[in-house]
Chain A
Amino acid sequence: GAVVSQHPSRVICKSGTSVKIECRSLDFQATTMFWYRQFPKQSLMLMATSNEGSKATYEQGVEKDKFLINHASLTLSTLTVTSAHPEDSSFYICSAGREAEQFFGPGTRLTVL
């Protein structure tokens, strides 16, 4: 099956710094990538839809200036959490789309001190 990777798997940073998370589709070209944030009780919130070569589409309530998404190629999308604060600590998951399918990455655990 298709493989999606995320890097790093875990990151700890100080408040006020920026953190970049990469999402890669390893064996297919993904025209669309999605970024999610996991909340308590395993609820998943869709943050944004990332389309290769164009601006990301953010869901209502998600600050686009805080969560910068870049989809520079068909195999890579990045999420940058700018000026991170402790409330941004969470598990961030990406998924990559191919035709009608979606494949989830393993997630990135962000801890902001």
Chain B
Amino acid sequence: DQQVKQNSPSLSVQEGRISILNCDYTNSMFDYFLWYKKYPAEGPTFLISISSIKDKNEDGRFTVFLNKSAKHLSLHIVPSQPGDSAVYFCAASARKDNDMRFGAGTRLTVKP
């Protein structure tokens, strides 16, 4: 049962434009959400998180938006840079430090 879904396996954007990566979840108990970035042959690295008490969290070029009623979150990267090209995973857990569930990932390609 896929509790966290990333329906777009890939996304391609031009350098300088906005990248929007989407994630949906089904478990209403999830209240902590994270985005990880992964380069080939490396483990995922934490990017940004948001708890369910917020609907937006911003860190530099990265902003995560949470829509609890729609069980949807998105990661915005603006402006996108070629170095942002990687696979982005959405993860969710019920309460911080609880077991995480991952989406299938979205491969972002930022073209110069």
Residues of A within 8 A of B (CB): 1-2, 34, 36, 38, 40-46, 49, 91, 93, 100-104, 106-107, 109
Contact = CB atoms under 8 A, between A and B. Distances in A.
Contact of B97 (A42, A46, A107): A42
13 contacts: A2-B104, A34-B43, A40-B97, A41-B97, A42-B34, A42-B49, A43-B46, A44-B36, A44-B43, A44-B46, A93-B100, A93-B102, A107-B101
B99 A102 contact: no
Interface string B23-51: 00000000010101010111110100100
Interface residues of B, number: 26
A44 B91 CA distance: 11
Most buried by A among B36, B42, B44, B46: B44
B46 A101 contact: no
A51 to B, nearest CB: 12
Majority secondary structure, A binding face: strand
B101 A101 contact: no
B100 to A, nearest CB: 6
A106 B104 CA distance: 11
Nearest to A105: B102
A41 B38 CA distance: 18
A86 to B, nearest CB: 17
A38 B43 contact: no
Contacts of B41: 49
A18 B7 CA distance: 38
Contacts of B2: 1
Given A34-B43, A102-B38, A109-B99, 17 more contacts: A1-B104, A2-B104, A36-B44, A38-B99, A42-B49, A42-B96, A44-B36, A45-B43, A46-B42, A93-B102, A100-B40, A100-B107, A101-B107, A102-B105, A103-B104, A104-B102, A107-B100
